[in-house]
Structures are given as C-alpha cells and as structure tokens.
Amino acid sequence: MDRRANVIFLLFFLVLVLIITGNYIHIFSTKRGIDYENKDTYSKNKGTNVAILIEVDKKQLHVVDKENEKIIKTYPVATGKPDTPTPLGSFKIVEKGHWGEGFGSRWMGLNVPWGKYGIHGTNKPGSIGYNASAGCIRMRNKDVEEVYSMVKHDTTVVIINGSYGPFGNGFRNLRPGDRGADVAEVQKRLLQKGYYNGSIDGIYGEGMKYSLLKYLKDNNMILSDTIGYEIYEKLGIILMD
C-alpha cells in the first residue's frame, strides 16, 4: 500500500513539474515576441510625433505620424450641419478634458478664432457619418478616448473639405455676420492690399465691411457688403483643382 502511495505521489510530482515547466516555456515564448522598447510608442510619447487630419466631406479623422508621413489610424466622425459648418483650416489643440453629457467621454478644444469648436465624444453614436453637429467633430466615445491618449496640447489639427482649402467645395456669398476660414482669407487679402487693419479672426464684422466698401470704391466697383464671385476674383482669390 505504501509503495502504491509513493508511486502516486511521484506521478503527481512529475505532472506538477511538467505543468510548471510548460507554463514558464509559454511565458518565455510570448515575451520573446514582444518588442518592449518600442511597444505603445505613441502612448508614451503623448502625441509628440502625431498630427490630426479631418476630411469633412469623407467624414473621417486620421491620426498621422508626422515623422514617417503615414496614417496611423482612421476613424469615422460626424461634422457640422450645413447652417453650422465645421471650421476649415489649420488649428491647434488648446484644451483637453472630460466634459461628459452631450460631449461624450472626452473633449479636445481647438483654437478656432471665430468660435468654440472641438473634437469630442457623443451620446448620439447614430449621428456618426453625418452632418449632424453645431460645427464640432463628433466621435464614438471609444474612438475619442483612443485619440485623446495619443495627442497633447498644441497638436496640429488640419480640417479640409473638398478640393478648395478654406473655401470647401467652392465660393459662398459672404455677408456681415458670417464666420469661417473663407472670411479669414478675404481679411488677409484686404490686409495685404492695405485696406484692413483688424485681426484675422474669420468674423465678418463692421471693420471688415468698412474696409471692403473702401476697397470697392477705390476700384470703381459696385458698392455692396455681399462678397460674391466678382469681388473674390478682384481680390485674386481663384479656385484651382
């Protein structure tokens, strides 16, 4: 009986040794396949090598590796409604926070001079892929949390819409009170020609209106506070594919 007990104990011990040895072999093999020096590089660098490109027309946000000029990851987004468009241009992330409610689990504010806009999550995931916001860029919460962990303050965010840069898909008639990158472009042209001395803030206010009317008068053009194709052309603003 004692001999049988000893045999059982010996077998148990051998099986235990095999299990422990096999476990160590598995752990070693798994670790050997991981590059710990380069693992999760972008999380450790906190966005020092990345920028964000947003294509409004395609409803996509790309995280871009600036050093290698490659897209790291692409996410679907929602953008502004036609009457509250997403701002176009090149901006910086100047705020990061957990706002909650309609802004989802994360908020990344942009330094858009003519209003408060940002990239944020949403409690309406069904709106992703559509023109649905008041101008901000909406993401699914799990996606915005991932992007939030990859970027830092001052990360560059470039927002485009179609082929024409700040003019999106073409010219629009600008009137007092309008805001946007196209307004800022007109301000730059009037400034270059010596008529506008205000800030390039993308807001069509009284100062810009006064400058425009003076420019039109000096160039023998019909006086109007509505900026249409003829004025764009006179200012040297031409759309090119």
Cite the active site residues.
120, 136
- The two tokens of residue 157 are 């965010």
Beta-bridge mates of residue 227: 174
Instruction: Compute CA distances 92 → 96, 118, 157, 237, whole Å.
Output: 11, 10, 6, 25
Residue type, 41: T
Q: How far apart are CA 11 and CA 3, in angstroms?
A: 12
Q: How far apart are CA 155 and CA 168, in angstroms?
A: 23
Q: How far apart are CA 88 and CA 174, in angstroms?
A: 15
Rounded-to-10 torsion of CA 194, 196, 201, 207: 180
Pairing assessment for the beta strands 89-97 and 156-160 based on DSSP bridges? antiparallel
Q: How far apart are CA 135 and CA 180, in angstroms?
A: 11
- The two tokens of residue 101 are 């409610």
Among residues 158, 189, 4, 162, the alpha carbon closest in space to that of 66 is found at 158
